[in-house]
Amino acid sequence: MKLASTLSLVALALAPALSSAATGFTIDFEKNWSYGEAVDNQYAAQGVTFTNVLGVSNDPAFDPYYSNAPSPMGVAMAQLDGVSNTTAFMNVAGGVDGLLSFFYSTPSDVVGAVKAYSGLNGTGTLLGTFDLVANTADYSTWTAANFSFSGTALSFDLSATANVAGVDNISAVPEPSTWALTACSLAVMGVSLRRRAK
């Protein structure tokens, strides 16, 4: 009985760490977007929201643009008018630990294309920047990118990519330590439940 109580206490101690750990997600923009449709809260259920980012459908009107994107139906592009819309962000409520993966297509090099910040909407500490290298003339070539940074990012500034780069299949996975904590917690709870059953 003592062991079960001890294990229950350990599980309770691990719970806050697990609840605050970043979760994984994949945003594939697989939707038939209307012209000029903002992505905004389309992926809020996954804890991801966008500001000044439009969904773009891979339809004949754009052929051959976006034709070879990793997800065949749609991609996204930051859109700024320079007057009222001057910044574009992706906010992640649960945070991203150290690595963001995505595909991009751009006809121009973009220095400081993606910036990771510790706070929402580009606030807090700058955790890292990622440059894009030109890879296409017509948005038909897509390159996989892995953006490594230090810390947990709650937002990514996409402003520098506006009107020049398309993005697709943005994803993040929890750190191995998060998986280890999850496995440990589940094991502890399993042992505790088995002991109680006996």
Nearest to 56 by CA among 162, 137, 166: 166
CB 195 within 8 A of CB 7: yes
pLDDT at 192 over 90: no
Q: What is the pLDDT of residue 76?
A: 96
Architecture of the 24-174 domain: Sandwich (2.60)
Domain boundaries, the chain: 1-21+175-198, 24-174
When pLDDT is cut at 50, 70 and 90, the band that residue 54 belongs to is: very high
pLDDT tens profile 4-40: 444 444 444 444 444 344 679 999 999 989 888 999 9
Q: What is the pLDDT of residue 146?
A: 98
CB 160 within 8 A of CB 129: no
| Cβ-Cβ contacts under 8 Å for 45 (sequence gap 6 or more) | none
CB burial class (10 A; 0-12, 13-18, 19+) of residue 60?
A: exposed
Nearest to 44 by CA among 87, 97, 113, 90: 90
Q: Which two tokens stand for residue 137?
A: 């003339």
